[in-house]
A and B are shown apart, each in its own frame.
Chain A
Amino acid sequence: MTPSLILLSPFDLSLAAALVLLLAALSWRLQLDIGQRVLVAAARSTVQLLLLGLVLKALFHTVDPWFVALLATIMLAVAGYEVMARQKHRLRGFWGYGTGALSMFLSSFSISVMALLVILQPDPWFTPQYSIPLLGMLLGNTMTGIAVSLDNLTRQTVEKRQQIEARLALGQTAAEAIGDIRRDALRSGLIPIVNSMTTAGIVSLPGMMTGQILAGSPPMEAAKYQLLILFLIAAGTGLGSMTAVLIGSNRLFDERSRLRRDRLRS
């Protein structure tokens, strides 16, 4: 442990939590209808992060590849569920879950493995101290991008159904008829990471770098790690959103290039 790390006591955390309670109270007072969701989310993050801390503490001592694989699978499964839950008109059946989960698997997993094998090279490569935080960071961010892209794709398809069919009726292919919507969906998923890269270090101090500096790391090292993570997230979000939008928009049409509104929930 670095000597400059200031240990947080439960009392310190309670003070910060009190701010969230204050926010919830304020929201209740102003009838903003968000207080309950804030409290549930705060409670979830408390339980989840403390559990993660416990699991990682145990994991760091074992370095068992199966443990790492199990934890990674659970993280992916939950992220897939979150993507599905954030869509108003998700695809029916397996693809409602599968589109997001598959895209996250392809992007987050492959990029994490590449970063571990080629860039960070811990020994062994799946050392949980590196692999789990890296995967978590990637999953968390690609999840947002993929969820936004897919929600955008399916919502616009429902809203602009008649425009799409007008284009199909004139002989356009499915790709032409949904091209604009596809581009728009992809762009909306990539905006958050583009914005955070644009303002990183000027307007905002990214969370990971802040954490490292507070924990006593030299600022230059923290900056380099932050850059690495930003690049990986950008690549992962882009790759994941593209995959999701491609799979999703293919599912929206059948083999005769008919728009299949019935494959989306109402």
Chain B
Amino acid sequence: MSELRIEHLQRQGVNAARLAVAPGSCSAIFGASGSGKTLLLRAIADLDEARGEVWLDGQPRSGMSGPAWRRLVSYLAAESHWWAPTVREHAHDWSLADLETLGLQPDVLDWEVQRLSSGERQRLALARALAHAPAALLLDEPTANLDQRNTARVEQLVADWRARTGGCVLWVSHDPAQRDRVASATHEIIGGQLGGGHDA
């Protein structure tokens, strides 16, 4: 069970006064391109410098090291990046069940990353993040390059994961229908300003 809470998070281009995502729930974020959605997620993940504080289950981010925080609060970039030749080398504890939910065969782990399609890469990036056992997920347009069927699979896996672990999710999506499907609250970001959420 993990609750993510943000207070007065500020960096160049982003100002998020207050945001809370309850354990096991998902909040959606949307906004015009260039409004600061990615910058906000990167600031929460502590990949970029920002003022303010973020809590996970009452534990302040400033009380732990950057890597320790990012192990718990996993940021999934819109475009996935891979550093080793095969898929398997990118995590220790791949979940075959997760791969199956995503419509991927177990032998995909032994494939070369270069041979993967962009859609396969995007789905595998989610499986890779979950294999590192985070407590919260920051998803940046995780279904941007996926067809309807694979989009549904990704949404299913995230929902399963929330139910199974009680982890919380911040989901950036440009698609209003998707936001209605996955999130219980929606926040708009305008010119870097994160507005108060309203229930979906």
Q: How would residues 137 to 150 of chain A score, 1 for a CB under 8 Å from any chain B CB and 0 otherwise?
A: 00000000000000
Give the chain B neighbours of A171 by CB distance below 8 A.
67-68, 70-72, 74, 132, 134
Give the chain A neighbours of B65 by CB distance below 8 A.
256-257
Q: Decide yes or no whether B185 CB sits under 8 A from chain A.
A: no
- Which listed residue, B67, B80, B83, touches A160 by the CB 8 Å rule? B83
Number of B positions contacting A (CB below 8 A): 26
Compute how far the CA of A158 lies from the CA of B31 in the bound complex, rounded to whole angstroms. 29
Q: Decide yes or no whether A224 CB sits under 8 A from chain B.
A: no
Let me know if B132 and A166 touch, CB within 8 A: no
Give the chain A neighbours of B129 by CB distance below 8 A.
170
Let me know if B81 and A170 touch, CB within 8 A: no
- CB of A174 to closest CB in B, whole Å: 8
**Closest chain A residue to B79, Cβ basis:** A162
Let me know if B67 and A172 touch, CB within 8 A: yes
Q: Decide yes or no whether A173 CB sits under 8 A from chain B.
A: yes
Q: How would residues 245 to 265 of chain A score, 1 for a CB under 8 Å from any chain B CB and 0 otherwise?
A: 000000000111111000000
Q: Decide yes or no whether A180 CB sits under 8 A from chain B.
A: yes
Interface residues on A, range: 20 to 34
**Closest chain B residue to A257, Cβ basis:** B66
Q: Decide yes or no whether B30 CB sits under 8 A from chain A.
A: no
Let me know if A168 and B82 touch, CB within 8 A: no
Q: Decide yes or no whether A51 CB sits under 8 A from chain B.
A: no
Interface of B is mostly: loop
Q: How would residues 80 to 123 of chain A score, 1 for a CB under 8 Å from any chain B CB and 0 otherwise?
A: 00000000000000000000000000000000000000000000
- CB of A260 to closest CB in B, whole Å: 9
**Closest chain B residue to A160, Cβ basis:** B83
- Which listed residue, A166, A173, A174, touches B83 by the CB 8 Å rule? A166
Q: A162-B81, A163-B82, A257-B66 in contact; A170/B46 too (CB < 8 A)?
A: no
Let me know if B81 and A166 touch, CB within 8 A: yes
Q: How would residues 154 to 170 of chain A score, 1 for a CB under 8 Å from any chain B CB and 0 otherwise?
A: 00000010110111111
Q: A170-B70, A170-B129 in contact; A258/B46 too (CB < 8 A)?
A: yes
Let me know if B49 and A258 touch, CB within 8 A: yes
Let me know if B70 and A169 touch, CB within 8 A: yes
Compute how far the CA of A173 lies from the CA of B80 in the bound complex, rounded to whole angstroms. 19
- Which listed residue, B49, B66, B67, B80, touches A166 by the CB 8 Å rule? B80
Q: How would residues 49 to 86 of chain B score, 1 for a CB under 8 Å from any chain A CB and 0 otherwise?
A: 10000000000000001111011101111011111000
Let me know if B128 and A256 touch, CB within 8 A: no
Give the chain A neighbours of B49 by CB distance below 8 A.
254, 256, 258
Q: Decide yes or no whether B47 CB sits under 8 A from chain A.
A: yes
Q: How would residues 57 to 76 of chain A score, 1 for a CB under 8 Å from any chain B CB and 0 otherwise?
A: 00000000000000000000
Q: Decide yes or no whether B100 CB sits under 8 A from chain A.
A: no
Q: Decide yes or no whether B189 CB sits under 8 A from chain A.
A: no
* New A-B pairs, 5, CB < 8 Å, besides A169-B45, A169-B47, A170-B132: A166-B82, A166-B83, A258-B46, A258-B49, A258-B66
Q: Measuring CB to CB, which residues of chain B are less than 8 angstroms from any residue of chain A?
A: 45-49, 65-68, 70-72, 74-77, 79-83, 91, 128-129, 132, 134
22 A–B contacts, CB within 8 A, in A order? A163-B82, A165-B77, A166-B77, A166-B82, A167-B83, A168-B47, A169-B45, A169-B70, A169-B74, A169-B76, A170-B71, A170-B128, A170-B132, A171-B68, A171-B70, A171-B71, A173-B67, A254-B49, A256-B46, A256-B65, A258-B49, A259-B47
